[in-house]
Amino acid sequence: MNKLIIILSLVVLSVQAKSPYEIIDNSPDSAWRDLNPEQTLYITLETGVVVVELAPQFAPNHVDNTKKLVREGVFDNTSFYRVVDGFVAQGGPAEPEKIAKPKNGKLTIDAEFTVKPNKPLDFTAIGLIDGYAPQTGFVDGFAAAYDKQKGEYWMTHCYGTMAMGRGNPANSGGTELYIVIGSAQRYLDKNTTVFGRVITGMEHIQHLQRSSNLKGAVDMKGKNKIISIKVASDLKPEERMALQTMKTNSASFKAIIKSRKNRNGEWFLYQHNYIDVCSVAVPVRLKNVKVKSFN
Amino acid sequence: MNKLIIILSLVVLSVQAKSPYEIIDNSPDSAWRDLNPEQTLYITLETGVVVVELAPQFAPNHVDNTKKLVREGVFDNTSFYRVVDGFVAQGGPAEPEKIAKPKNGKLTIDAEFTVKPNKPLDFTAIGLIDGYAPQTGFVDGFAAAYDKQKGEYWMTHCYGTMAMGRGNPANSGGTELYIVIGSAQRYLDKNTTVFGRVITGMEHIQHLQRSSNLKGAVDMKGKNKIISIKVASDLKPEERMALQTMKTNSASFKAIIKSRKNRNGEWFLYQHNYIDVCSVAVPVRLKNVKVKSFN
């Protein structure tokens, strides 16, 4: 009997001791999903391609309108004209008011700061305190926050989050894409419409030249070229990467959250019993090749 | 009388409405201090110079030993051999066990994860909840945490924080400098010795080539060259930048914390009444020129 208890304890211990890497390595294929090419953008820069997954669950109109503008070529031959180190890289047509009126897409659309769906979203909660929101967690791969009382969800500004810049009026954005390139910028939550996340290629965004005025001058116009932005479904299959992302409502991902909260590897001498939503990277891999993008 | 109340209210409002930028612009020179050249490193990379301020208040032995190694040229002609996007860039001699034994500095020194000074440090508290520490705030320009009960302080892993890598044993680090290049990595707090912060030049770190294996393979050896690391006091005065940083115990910086907690600009439609320690950038400027590095 004692032997059984010892064996059971060892089994429990070895389950608890799994690192995020081990969880990924042992995850079943059912814990992963392909990116939907209709909801994926390929941003081609001079040093390589940045792949962005769009979030129609959170900002359907921004996703729809951005794809219309993309398909009309509004973002081709534009630039990341404002790049503030440790903060955001902002790109698209630097002077949208001067370009030809798009046929299908709109240059400005109404804000979608939060979403209030009729039925609750499939929200995988972290279950820990957060200074900016009542609850944080994940919906379909996207780091998010949830106000149960109001029935509202919104995406959180983490590293690699894509959102829409705007002027002072709430509904003044439409072409000013920005990507978070440093610390999480959670104070921007609920102030802009977040509608995507970078899946791979952040190093190409990081490679961009910084604005000279670090307050965020728009002075990189014509530099930091955006060669093109395409919807993946408009590319030939052989031009797409076979990217997969872990399902954030899977048992594997829930195990990763737990593992991140208390890192069990031999290396970790102090455990915080805490993790913030922006510190749980959602695993990405190439289908079959199973190269992991994770830290 | 009513007129006076209105005027007073307007004065109060205009004081409350100051943005971080306005606070910086209006800060007196007494709110700033020069970097101490004896506590400043110049890291020269192929694309430019990264300036790091050292924190002897938190890790006196790491600061002392690193300067000894720097002065013996241990970091010259080495590389950032491990660069994991969104996480850290780690550099120095890739195989320290193979280099000649330094005369003054040591290749491994004992950890200084926290500091427990005889008299309390001059800690400017943020005064808000934090998932990783009882209290967060700033000491002499460095983002830090404080456990009043234990009398312990430690630096927090924010964007641009410099710390010492190590193997599994606590006291196995000494040459593996790393810099946080993405999200704050607060779960590393109290697991490594943090002993500096980047003052300027993060864009050169971001420019480095990423490791191919995103788990963090040491495969950039020989690439991502560190041309040299120097202590600023060993450079000629004309080779140094006249950098200043805001005193974090100044009234101006306390006003910045307050302003960050509730951003008052017309642009902000939602205020969180919260800010985390890694989202309060400590202002940096060039003396007299007063170029601001701030976001």
Rounded mean pLDDT of A235-257? 96
- Judging contacts by C-beta atoms under 8 Å, the chain A residues touching residue B189 are 270, 272
Share of chain A above pLDDT 70, in %: 90
The per-residue pLDDT for A215 is 65
The answer, for B1 touching chain A at a CB cutoff of 8 Å, is no
Between B125 and B12, the higher pLDDT residue: B125
Q: What is the rounded average pLDDT for all residues in chain B?
A: 91
Q: How far apart are CA A201 and CA A183, in angstroms?
A: 17
Please check the confidence at residue A7 and state whether its pLDDT lies above 80.
no
The answer, for A266 touching chain B at a CB cutoff of 8 Å, is yes
Contacts of A77 (CB under 8 A, 6+ apart): A225, A226, A227, A228
**Distance of residue B71 Cα from the nearest chain A Cα, in angstroms:** 30
- Judging contacts by C-beta atoms under 8 Å, the chain B residues touching residue A292 are 214-215
Confidence of residue B270 (pLDDT cuts 50, 70, 90): very high
The answer, for B105 touching chain A at a CB cutoff of 8 Å, is no
Between chains, do B295 and A84 touch, taking CB under 8 Å as contact?
yes
Between B77 and B217, the higher pLDDT residue: B77
Sort B121 into a burial class: Cβ within 10 Å, 0-12 / 13-18 / 19+.
middle
Q: For residue A109, give the nearest of A157, A76, A151, A60 by alpha carbon.
A: A60
Name which of B189, B205, B210, B214 to mutate to probe chain A: the one with the most chain A Cβ atoms within 10 A of its Cβ.
B214
Please check the confidence at residue A148 and state whether its pLDDT lies above 60.
yes
The per-residue pLDDT for A18 is 85
Half-sphere exposure of A133 (CA within 13 A, CB side): 30
Q: How many CB pairs under 8 A join A and B?
A: 139
Q: Count CB-CB contacts under 10 A for residue B22.
A: 15
Select from B87, B184, B214 the Cβ nearest to the Cβ of A184. Answer: B184
Share of chain B above pLDDT 90, in %: 83
The per-residue pLDDT for A51 is 98
Name which of A21, A83, A172, A187 to mutate to probe chain B: the one with the most chain B Cβ atoms within 10 A of its Cβ.
A187
- Judging contacts by C-beta atoms under 8 Å, the chain A residues touching residue B172 are none
Q: How far apart are CA A232 and CA A36, in angstroms?
A: 8
Between chains, do A168 and B267 touch, taking CB under 8 Å as contact?
yes
The per-residue pLDDT for A294 is 40
The CATH number assigned to the domain with range B36-241 reads 2.40.100.10
The answer, for B168 touching chain A at a CB cutoff of 8 Å, is yes
- Judging contacts by C-beta atoms under 8 Å, the chain B residues touching residue A293 are 214
The per-residue pLDDT for A16 is 53
User: Are B221 and B79 in contact, with CB atoms under 8 Å apart?
Assistant: yes
The CATH number assigned to the domain with range A35-263+270-293 reads 2.40.100.10
- Judging contacts by C-beta atoms under 8 Å, the chain A residues touching residue B210 are 203
Rounded mean pLDDT of A151-162? 98
Rounded mean pLDDT of B226-239? 96
The per-residue pLDDT for B290 is 53
The answer, for B270 touching chain A at a CB cutoff of 8 Å, is yes
Q: How far apart are CA A191 and CA B272, in angstroms?
A: 10
**Distance of residue A184 Cα from the nearest chain B Cα, in angstroms:** 6
The answer, for B11 touching chain A at a CB cutoff of 8 Å, is no
Q: How far apart are CA A102 and CA A93, in angstroms?
A: 12
What pLDDT, in 10s, does the model give residues B106-157? 999 999 999 999 999 999 999 999 999 999 999 999 999 999 999 999 999 9
Select from B86, B131, B260 the Cβ nearest to the Cβ of A128. Answer: B131
The per-residue pLDDT for B217 is 75
Beta bridge partners of residue B41, listed in sequence order: B52, B231
Please check the confidence at residue A293 and state whether its pLDDT lies above 80.
no
Q: What is the rounded average pLDDT for all residues in chain A?
A: 91
Domain locations along chain B: 36-241
The answer, for B147 touching chain A at a CB cutoff of 8 Å, is no
The answer, for A200 touching chain B at a CB cutoff of 8 Å, is no
CA B186 to chain centre: 13
What pLDDT, in 10s, does the model give residues A170-195? 999 999 999 999 999 999 999 999 99
Beta bridge partners of residue A177, listed in sequence order: A91, A164
Rounded mean pLDDT of A102-117? 97
Between chains, do B202 and A294 touch, taking CB under 8 Å as contact?
no
pTM of the model: 0.92
Between chains, do A210 and B203 touch, taking CB under 8 Å as contact?
yes
Contacts of A236 (CB under 8 A, 6+ apart): none
The answer, for B278 touching chain A at a CB cutoff of 8 Å, is yes
The answer, for A112 touching chain B at a CB cutoff of 8 Å, is no
Indicate the residue type of B188: L
Pick the range with the lowest mean pLDDT from A11-20, A82-91, B95-104, B147-156.
A11-20
> Phi-psi region for residue B190, left (φ > 0), alpha (ψ -120 to 50) or beta?
left
The per-residue pLDDT for A287 is 87
User: Are A112 and A60 in contact, with CB atoms under 8 Å apart?
Assistant: yes
Name which of B179, B187, B209, B210 to mutate to probe chain A: the one with the most chain A Cβ atoms within 10 A of its Cβ.
B187
Indicate the residue type of B190: K
Contacts of A266 (CB under 8 A, 6+ apart): B168
**Distance of residue A230 Cα from the nearest chain B Cα, in angstroms:** 24
- Judging contacts by C-beta atoms under 8 Å, the chain A residues touching residue B85 are 202-203, 206, 295
DSSP type of residue B141: T
The answer, for A217 touching chain B at a CB cutoff of 8 Å, is no
Sheet holding B292-293, edge to edge: B32-34, B243-246, B284-286, B292-293
What pLDDT, in 10s, does the model give residues B16-61? 558 898 999 999 999 999 999 999 999 999 999 999 999 999 999 9
Distance of CA A49 to CAs A35, A56, A222, A228, Å? Answer: 16, 22, 18, 10
What pLDDT, in 10s, does the model give residues A218-227? 777 889 999 9
Nearest CA in chain B to A202: B85
The pair of three-digit structure tokens given for residue B60, joined into one six-digit string: 């006196």
Distance of CA A155 to CAs A92, A114, A187, B228, Å? Answer: 22, 8, 12, 42
The pair of three-digit structure tokens given for residue A46, joined into one six-digit string: 């001079």
Which residue has 């010892």 as its token pair? A6
The per-residue pLDDT for B219 is 79
The residue ranges of DSSP E strands in chain A, in sequence order, are 32-34, 40-45, 48-54, 78-83, 88-92, 123-125, 135-139, 142-147, 152-155, 161-164, 177-180, 193-200, 225-231, 243-246, 284-286, 292-293
Rounded mean pLDDT of A143-165? 98
Nearest CA in chain B to A210: B203
The per-residue pLDDT for A222 is 82
The per-residue pLDDT for A220 is 79
Q: How far apart are CA A281 and CA A264, in angstroms?
A: 17
- Judging contacts by C-beta atoms under 8 Å, the chain B residues touching residue A159 are 86, 182-183
Select from B86, B191, B207 the Cβ nearest to the Cβ of A269. Answer: B191
The answer, for B197 touching chain A at a CB cutoff of 8 Å, is no
The per-residue pLDDT for B18 is 86
The answer, for B192 touching chain A at a CB cutoff of 8 Å, is no
Q: How far apart are CA A103 and CA A285, in angstroms?
A: 37
